[in-house]
A and B are shown apart, each in its own frame.
Chain A
Amino acid sequence: MPAPIRLRELIRTIRTARTQAEEREMIQKECAAIRSSFREEDNTYRCRNVAKLLYMHMLGYPAHFGQLECLKLIASQKFTDKRIGYLGAMLLLDERQDVHLLMTNCIKNDLNHSTQFVQGLALCTLGCMGSSEMCRDLAGEVEKQLKTSNSYLRKKAALSAVHVIRKVPELMEMFLPATKNLLNEKNHGVLHTSVVLLTEMCERSPDMLAHFRKNEKLVPQLVRILKNLIMSGYSPEHDVSGISDPFLQVRILRLLRILGRNDDDSSEAMNDILAQVATNTETSKNVGNAILYETVLTIMDIKSESGLRVLAINILGRFLLNNDKNIRYVALTSLLKTVQTDHNAVQRHRSTIVDCLKDLDVSIKRRAMELSFALVNGNNIRGMMKELLYFLDSCDPEFKADCASGVFHAAEKYAPSKRWHIDTIMRVLTTAGSYVRDDAVPNLIQLITNSVEMHGYTVQRLYKALIDDISQQPLIQVSSWCIGEYGDLLVSGKCEEEEPIQVTEDEVLDVLEGILVSNLSSTVTRGYSLTAIMKLSTRFASAVNRIKKIVLVYGSSIDVELQQRAVEYNALFKKYDHMRPALLERMPVMEKTSTNGPTEIVQTNGETEPSILETKHMPSVPQPTNQANDLLDLLGGNDVMPVIQTAPPTKLVSAGGELLDLLGDLSLSGGVPAPGPPVSISQPPFLLDGLASQPLFNDVAAGIPPMIAYNKNGLKIDFAFERSNTNPNIAVITMQASNSTEAEMTEFVFQAAVPKTFQLQLLSPSSNIVPALNAGTVTQIIKVLNPQKQQLRMRVKLTYTHKGSSLQDLAEVNNFPPQSWQ
Chain B
Amino acid sequence: MMHFMLLFSRQGKLRLQKWFIAIEEREKMKIIREMTQSVLARQPKTCNFMDWKDLKIVYKRYASLYICCGMEDQDNELLTIEIMHRYIELLDKYFGNVCELDIIFNFEKAYFILDEFLIGGEVQETSKLSVSKCIEESDLMQEVSPGMKDTLLKVISFRQQPTSRVQCRCSCFTEGKKAQVQKDG
Does chain A bind chain B?
Answer: yes
Q: With A60-B29, A152-B134 given, is the CB distance from A87 to B112 under 8 Å?
A: yes
B78 sits at the interface (CB 8 A):
yes
B50 sits at the interface (CB 8 A):
yes
A51 sits at the interface (CB 8 A):
yes
Q: Contact: B76 with A294, CB < 8 Å?
A: yes
In Å, the complex CA distance between A128 and B2 comes to 11
Report A358-378 CB contacts with B as 1/0, cut-off 8 Å: 001111101000000000000
Instruction: From the candidates A193, A245, A286, name the one contacting B122 in the complex (CB within 8 A).
Output: A193
A30 sits at the interface (CB 8 A):
no
Which of B39-47, B62-70, B91-99, B155-163 lies at the interface?
B39-47
Residues of B within 8 A of A311 (CB): none
Q: Contact: B119 with A189, CB < 8 Å?
A: no
Report A75-94 CB contacts with B as 1/0, cut-off 8 Å: 00011100110010010001
- Listed in ascending order, the chain B residues whose CB lies under 8 Å from chain A are 14-17, 19-20, 22, 24, 29, 43, 45-51, 74, 76-79, 81-83, 86, 104-105, 107-108, 111-112, 115, 119-120, 122-130, 134, 137-138, 141-143, 145-147, 172, 174-175
In Å, the complex CA distance between A328 and B175 comes to 45
Q: How far is the CB of A51 from chain B (nearest CB, A)?
A: 6
In Å, the complex CA distance between A238 and B127 comes to 5
Residues of A within 8 A of B174 (CB): 6-8
Residues of A within 8 A of B14 (CB): 58-60
Residues of A within 8 A of B16 (CB): 58
Most chain A CB atoms below 10 A, which of B16, B19, B78, B143: B78
Q: Contact: A78 with B47, CB < 8 Å?
A: no
Within 8 A of B (CB), among A94-152: 94-96, 115, 117, 120, 123-124, 127-129, 131, 152
Q: Contact: B119 with A329, CB < 8 Å?
A: no
Q: Contact: B122 with A162, CB < 8 Å?
A: yes
In Å, the complex CA distance between A60 and B46 comes to 30
Q: With A117-B138, A128-B119, A326-B81 given, is the CB distance from A95 to B126 under 8 Å?
A: no
Instruction: From the candidates B22, B81, B124, B138, name the one contacting A286 in the complex (CB within 8 A).
Output: B81
Q: Contact: B17 with A58, CB < 8 Å?
A: yes
Q: Contact: A124 with B141, CB < 8 Å?
A: no
Within 8 A of B (CB), among A606-658: none
A45 sits at the interface (CB 8 A):
yes
Q: Contact: A192 with B126, CB < 8 Å?
A: yes
Q: Contact: A159 with B119, CB < 8 Å?
A: yes
Residues of A within 8 A of B134 (CB): 117, 120, 152
Q: Contact: A364 with B146, CB < 8 Å?
A: no
Q: With A79-B142, A188-B127 given, is the CB distance from A294 to B175 under 8 Å?
A: no
Residues of B within 8 A of A325 (CB): 45-48
Complex A-B, nearest 6 residue pairs according to Cβ-Cβ distance, in ascending order: A290-B78, A325-B47, A159-B119, A189-B125, A361-B46, A127-B119
In Å, the complex CA distance between A567 and B66 comes to 64
Most chain B CB atoms below 10 A, which of A15, A59, A117: A117
Instruction: From the candidates B74, B111, B124, name the one contacting A87 in the complex (CB within 8 A).
Output: B111
In Å, the complex CA distance between A329 and B129 comes to 33
Q: Contact: A83 with B47, CB < 8 Å?
A: no
Instruction: From the candidates B24, B49, B82, B128, name the one contacting A96 in the complex (CB within 8 A).
Output: B24
A55 sits at the interface (CB 8 A):
yes
Q: With A79-B142, A117-B138, A159-B119 given, is the CB distance from A254 to B126 under 8 Å?
A: no
Q: Contact: A79 with B141, CB < 8 Å?
A: yes
In Å, the complex CA distance between A6 and B111 comes to 19
Q: How far is the CB of A140 from chain B (nearest CB, A)?
A: 18
In the complex, residue of chain B having the shortest beta-carbon distance to the beta carbon of A84: B108
Q: How far is the CB of B162 from chain A (nearest CB, A)?
A: 31
Most chain A CB atoms below 10 A, which of B47, B107, B126: B126
Residues of B within 8 A of A78 (CB): 143
Residues of A within 8 A of B17 (CB): 58
In Å, the complex CA distance between A83 and B43 comes to 40
Q: How far is the CB of B168 from chain A (nearest CB, A)?
A: 18
Q: Contact: B78 with A293, CB < 8 Å?
A: yes
In Å, the complex CA distance between A124 and B134 comes to 14
A54 sits at the interface (CB 8 A):
yes
Q: Contact: B76 with A156, CB < 8 Å?
A: no
Q: Contact: B122 with A360, CB < 8 Å?
A: no
Q: How far is the CB of A235 from chain B (nearest CB, A)?
A: 9
A3 sits at the interface (CB 8 A):
yes
Q: Contact: B123 with A237, CB < 8 Å?
A: no
Q: With A79-B142, A245-B126 given, is the CB distance from A3 to B147 under 8 Å?
A: yes
Q: Contact: A361 with B82, CB < 8 Å?
A: no
Q: How far is the CB of A211 from chain B (nearest CB, A)?
A: 21
Q: Contact: B146 with A45, CB < 8 Å?
A: yes
Q: How far is the CB of B54 from chain A (nearest CB, A)?
A: 14
In the complex, residue of chain B having the shortest beta-carbon distance to the beta carbon of A236: B129
Q: Contact: B142 with A155, CB < 8 Å?
A: no
Q: Contact: A290 with B79, CB < 8 Å?
A: yes
A44 sits at the interface (CB 8 A):
yes
What are 30 A-B pairs at a CB distance below 8 A?
Answer: A3-B146, A8-B105, A47-B145, A51-B108, A58-B14, A58-B107, A78-B143, A79-B142, A83-B108, A83-B142, A84-B108, A90-B111, A90-B115, A128-B115, A129-B20, A160-B120, A188-B127, A189-B130, A237-B127, A240-B86, A254-B76, A286-B82, A290-B79, A294-B76, A326-B77, A329-B47, A329-B49, A360-B43, A361-B47, A363-B49
Within 8 A of B (CB), among A179-232: 188-189, 192-193, 196
In Å, the complex CA distance between A192 and B83 comes to 14
Residues of A within 8 A of B76 (CB): 250, 254, 290, 293-294
Q: Contact: A363 with B126, CB < 8 Å?
A: no
Q: Contact: B123 with A127, CB < 8 Å?
A: no
A163 sits at the interface (CB 8 A):
yes
Q: Contact: A128 with B47, CB < 8 Å?
A: no
Instruction: From the candidates A55, A155, A361, A366, name the one contacting B107 in the complex (CB within 8 A).
Output: A55
Q: Contact: B122 with A159, CB < 8 Å?
A: yes
Residues of A within 8 A of B112 (CB): 83, 87
In the complex, residue of chain A having the shortest beta-carbon distance to the beta carbon of B17: A58
In Å, the complex CA distance between A4 and B37 comes to 36
Residues of A within 8 A of B115 (CB): 87, 90, 124, 128
In the complex, residue of chain A having the shortest beta-carbon distance to the beta carbon of B134: A152
Residues of A within 8 A of B122 (CB): 159, 162, 193, 196
A437 sits at the interface (CB 8 A):
no
